[in-house]
Structure formats: C-alpha cells, structure tokens
Chains A and B, each alone.
Chain A
Amino acid sequence: AQSVAQPEDQVNVAEGNPLTVKCTYSVSGNPYLFWYVQYPNRGLQFLLKYITGDNLVKGSYGFEAEFNKSQTSFHLKKPSALVSDSALYFCAVGNMRFGAGTRLTVKP
C-alpha cells in the first residue's frame, strides 16, 4: 500500500527565513509525489509534483521540493518565507492518499 507521513503538525518560521515542511513516503516502485496547499475555507491547490527525473522539483510561489530516494523523503522548501505562505500543506502519493497536513505559520 502507498502512504505518506507528515511528521510535524505545525511549523513556525520567521518571515525571511528558510522553511522546510517534511514528508516521508512508503511506496513500492517509483513514486508519484505531490505537494498541495490549502488556504482557509478553500479547496486544495497544486504546488508541485515529482514523477521522474531531477530530484529537485520547482513549483508555484517559489516553493521547491527535494526527492530523496534513500531517505524516502520529499520535503517542501522555500529559501525565504513570506507571511502569505501561512497555510495548511499536504503531501500526497500517486494513489491520491494524503498526509495529515502541516500547518505553516510565518510570523512577521
């Protein structure tokens, strides 16, 4: 069975600092991995995905994610956080199973 885990319920960072939101996966074979963002009272929006190829994937709003096969991880990163990045972030694996979500709060 395919699954993902997001080990942190909450991540707090100061504006301008780099941010990381963690995701680990359990998949047999080659995984399709996704990151989505959810703003209050809205549906989820696509950020980026890894299918194959370069381990560093660039996505919307300056986000990127690094696929690490040996660590079975797909962490979301951004070099400089904005207050407007505050939202709920979900990692997902190709059979459309989602992690529990990580709430990112960026403080001014």
Chain B
Amino acid sequence: NAGVTQTPKFQVLKTGQSMTLQCAQDMNHNSMYWYRQDPGMGLRLIYYSASEGTTDKGEVPNGYNVSRLNKREFSLRLESAAPSQTSVYFCASTGVSGNTIYFGEGSWLTVV
C-alpha cells in the first residue's frame, strides 16, 4: 500500500532556481495538502485542494504555486527559490471532513 508518495526526497537548489515537488495518493481521497515544517514552527499549511479542480491558499502561500493535476496528484512549485524556503515539505491527503489525514514521508529542500 503506497498511500501518499512524494518526490524527490532530497533536493538542493541555488537561489533563483525553480523546481516542482510531486505528490500522488492512491486512496481516492478528495482533499490534498502541502505543508512545510520548520523547527519551532510546527506544520504550516501552504496550499490545499479540497477537491479535483480546486486549490486554495493556506497560511504561508507566498512564493509557491500548486496544481491539482487530477484526483491523484497535487504538485507544489517554487518558481524562484529563496533561502527562506529551506524546509521539510509534506504532502498529505484525506477523504471526507473529519477523517484521518495521511502524510507522505517528506521532502528535504535546501536553498543555498
């Protein structure tokens, strides 16, 4: 059972470069999320997609864009990476409201 799969696991970027984090879930979930985790800050919601075809901003959307490609896939794009975006990124998904949220294993991104 794959659950939530995100790639890449590790990435080093130079300031100004762009990249896309990929996420896919095989649980037929409607809702998908992108979080970043920083020491002492917990998990902060970047963007979410309540259903296929919709995306909404979370707490910290600046510097990011997302695409809900289909029901399975939800990608996060950094158009011009900045050192402040050095973080661990988690993709997650859930079914109907009130259900458990399932997380990917994380993507460690360093911007130098």
- The interface of chain A, by Cβ under 8 A from chain B, is 6, 9, 32, 34, 36, 41-46, 49, 51, 90, 92, 94, 96-101
Contact = CB atoms under 8 A, between A and B. Distances in A.
A100 B39 CA distance: 9
Contacts of B102: 46
Instruction: Please report whether the interface of chain A is mostly helix, strand, loop or mixed according to DSSP.
Output: loop
Interface in B40-97: 40-45, 48, 59, 90, 92, 94, 97
Given A34-B101, A44-B43, A100-B40, 12 more contacts: A42-B105, A43-B90, A43-B104, A44-B101, A46-B100, A90-B42, A92-B101, A96-B48, A96-B92, A97-B45, A98-B43, A99-B42
Contacts of B97: 32, 94
A94 to B, nearest CB: 6
6 contacts: A32-B98, A34-B100, A36-B101, A43-B106, A46-B101, A96-B45
Contact of B106 (A34, A42, A94): A42
A44 B106 CA distance: 9
Contact of B105 (A43, A98, A101): A43
B104 to A, nearest CB: 6
Contacts of A90: 42-43
Contacts of A41: 106
